[in-house]
Amino acid sequence: MRRRIQMSEHSPQNEMAPEDVVAWLNKRFNGTLMVQIGIKMLEVGPERAIAEMEALPDVMTMTGHIHAGAMISLADSTATFAAVAFIKGSYVDLDRFPVAIGISSQIVSNTQHGAIRAESTVSHGGRTLVTVDTRVTTDEGRLLAIVTSTHFVRNSSTKAVAPKR
């Protein structure tokens, strides 16, 4: 039996099957960095999140390798949704949306073709801090990067405030 992911009352449904969460998220990426660099969510569940990105010219360096920033963006995006699923938060409740406050990455290899995939699992979860471990690999499974990120989860009574300009 598949576990369902809780969503807020502002979501299309209060509970969604994992494959429906993926479709719902991918649709809402329009106008974001995730679309610009081609990130597609493949799985989001209480245990892990998986996303992938094609090695296209828009994410390559001058030498034809995937840009480190694109690789880390894939890892960060995937880790964020693993944290959301862990806290049983809402994908649309920006007051509870986890924000990365620390990212440590070790890039151990690179590639020039195919898709790269990030798989994120929560290694520590608390009420306000969630730590996620992410492995970025080629579509053949070769390790490219190991990323650990810490995400701050605001208390639901603490409202997000936009900075004054």
Residues pairing with 6 in the sheet:
15
Q: How far is 98 from 111, CA to CA, in rounded Å?
A: 30
Supply the pLDDT for residue 93: 66
Domain boundaries, the chain: 5-152
Contacts of 73 (CB under 8 A, 6+ apart): 33, 34, 37, 39
Are 150 and 104 in contact, with CB atoms under 8 Å apart? no
* Per-residue tens of pLDDT for the chain, all 165 residues: 344 444 443 343 346 677 777 777 777 778 889 888 999 999 998 779 999 999 999 999 999 999 999 999 999 999 999 998 888 755 556 677 889 999 999 999 999 999 999 999 999 998 899 999 999 999 999 999 999 999 999 876 655 555 554
Q: Which CATH homologous superfamily contains domain 5-152? A: Hotdog Thioesterase (3.10.129.10)
Residue written as token pair 């070769």: 142
Q: Give strand pairing partners of 133.
A: 121, 148
